Every structure is written in C-alpha cells, then in structure tokens.
Amino acid sequence: MLYAVFGNPIEHSRSPTIHQLFARQEKVDLIYEKRLVTHTLAQALHDFENDGGLGANVTVPCKTEAFELSSQLSERARMAGAVNTLFRLPENQGWYGDNTDGIGLVRDIQRLGVSLHDARILLLGAGGAARGIIYPLKEAGAHISIANRTFSKAQELSDWFNIQAIEFSDITPSFDMIINSTSASLNQQTLPIDNQVFANAVLAYDLVYGDTAFIQQAKQAKTALCVDGLGMLVAQAATSYALWRGFEPDIEPVLETLKKS
C-alpha cells in the first residue's frame, strides 16, 4: 500500500511521520514517501500510479495543478480552487481531488473547545492558504472578514465567498478569532494590528507552526488562546487518511508525539 506527499521543497515535510503514526493506530503496514516534483505533478503522478500509488498529499507549489488534474472534485476543493489530497479512483477513472486544509483547521479549533458557530473571524491574508479555509469555516457557522495588504485581493475572495473585505486601517477590536494565513510569519514580520484587537479575541491562530512573530504578537497583547498550525497539520492529514483508508485516526496522541520530537 503506497502513499506519498508531493511538492518542492519536500524534505522538511512531517507527513510521513504523521501517516505512519496513523497506520500504527489502524494496525496496518503501509509505505508513505516524500516525492520531489522536479518537472510537473502530472509526470510525478504518472510514475506514482505505475508504482501502485493509491493516495497522495500535495503541497506547494502543486495544489493548483492537482486541482486541474483531478477527474472528480469535492465541493471544498472546488470552492478553494486547489487540491491537497488525491485518491486514486477505481477502474482507471483518474484521481479524486479534495482539499482538507480548511476542515483540518475547523477540527483543530473544535478540539481546542472553541465554538465556530456565529464566531466573528478576522482572516489575515488572501492567498492560497486563505482560499483553502474559508468555505469550511463558513460551513461551521463563522462570520468572516478578510484583510490583506493588497486590498483588491481581499475583495476578490470577498466576492467569491460572499464575505466582508476590510482594509487593515479599518480593523476594530470586534473579533472573536484572528487567523493568520499571510506569509509574514515565515519572515518573522509583525502585522499592523492594534494590540486591543488581539486582546479582545478569544483565539489567535497561525496556520504556520512554530513560535511565529504572529503568535508572539498575540501573546504580548494577552489573547486568551494563542495556537500555531501544528494541530491543523495533523487534523488535515487525518481527514486525508480517512478518505484513503476508511479509518478515522485519533489526532491527540499523534499531536503529542510531534510536540515532543
């Protein structure tokens, strides 16, 4: 039973560790590889299929190509315009494409005991990461306002998902949650948000995992709960695994193992 994660770069991926821990829970042996995409995902998937590959995770920069290559799509993948999970359909029907990023985030927030029903969320950033999470958050009952340095990009997602777009200068301390999907954390940059906006929020959540500049900013402003994206990573992987295997892994022990490593 062969599975893999595709991307470039890919060496840093923790997906093999996560999925092997899931397989241990299911009490099965499977192979889960890292596959570097040097040319096209189409060629890499062709080779994978010839090797007997059954399912795959897809990371940057291949999620849009995975969307285009999918024979069938889930609604959340269609809304996101990107695919991060592929499942091989029977009888050479191609690949089923899903996007588990948003549902992974929803599951992790629920795991933390925070309700999304009627929650007022400030979503920072309007790139691919934001696109992947908006639909599941709305499905969970959240009300989303999106802010981005380039306002026109926020407006595009506002029109597509029927949410509110706001300028950074118009952000007020009126949100229950702040979710950071910008690349600022990767560069350890802080965002131009008043401390009171953080102080009034119940949850500050960074999609990147680690002690990011965003998390530090939220902690300094005394946000009640400051969380990085490790739980989302494990939860989205669990959703992928359930799609492939029909087995629902327990997220909590895997998360604890990763925190210790």
Active site residue ranges: 63
Residue with tokens 């795959």: 56
Beta pairing, strands 143-147 & 120-124: parallel
| CA gap 138, 143 in Å, rounded | 7
Cα angle 59, 234, 6 (rounded to 5 degrees) comes to 20
Cβ–Cβ under 8 Å, residues 116 and 109? yes
Residue 153, classified by CB atoms within 10 Å of its CB into exposed (0-12), middle (13-18) or buried (19+), is middle
Take residue 58 and report the two structure tokens written for it: 């897809």
Length of the chain: 261
Report which DSSP code applies to 207: S
Three-state SS across 42-95? Answer: HHHHHHHHHCCEEEEEECCCCHHHHHHHCCEECHHHHHHCCCCEEEECCCCCCE
Strand ranges for 125-194 from DSSP E? 143-147, 164-166, 177-180
Look at residue 208 and give its three-state secondary structure. Answer: coil
